[in-house]
Amino acid sequence: MVKTGEGLSVSVVVPVYNGESTIGKCIESLLLQDFPAQRFEVVIVENGSTDGTTGIVSRYPVRLLHNTVRGPSAARQFGLGQSVADVIAFTDADCYADPHWLSELTKPYTDLRVGGVGGQFWATSTLSGMSLSSSLTINCH
């Protein structure tokens, strides 16, 4: 990721464990963002997968990190520690992002009262198919 000085930079951290069936679609949705490519990176934190997750991730222009401490929380923390961007965004390996997610996610940061934001995403589920979550903005006062 190149910090251009022309706006906020973003690291998208994605923890994954045995996500071979979903990680490709997740990464593809992140790479199709309408946010300037030179201002964001995708950081995949592989968490000891025993399936083909690592091979799938290695096909994409993303940073692939390996964390030996298991669990999504530990993986997120590890990815956070490896990121140097202005904004850190998190999503899961079984989710895919709306193409406008990062653009919309960074807009509220022009307001100094905003401490965190969220965006629209779709999660895949083997039980229910596709489901849509609602948007969220967190304001700190």
Number of domains in the chain: 1
pLDDT tens column, 95-120: 988 899 899 889 898 888 888 886 55
Query: Residue 32 domain-assigned?
Result: yes
Query: Residue 68 domain-assigned?
Result: yes
pTM of the full structure: 0.82
Query: Residue 103 domain-assigned?
Result: yes
pLDDT in the model for residue 30: 96
Query: Residue 99 domain-assigned?
Result: yes
Range 12-18 average pLDDT: 97
CA dist., res. 138 & res. 117, Å (int): 5
pLDDT above 90 (res 29) = yes
Q: Structural domain of residue 66, as residue ranges? A: 10-139
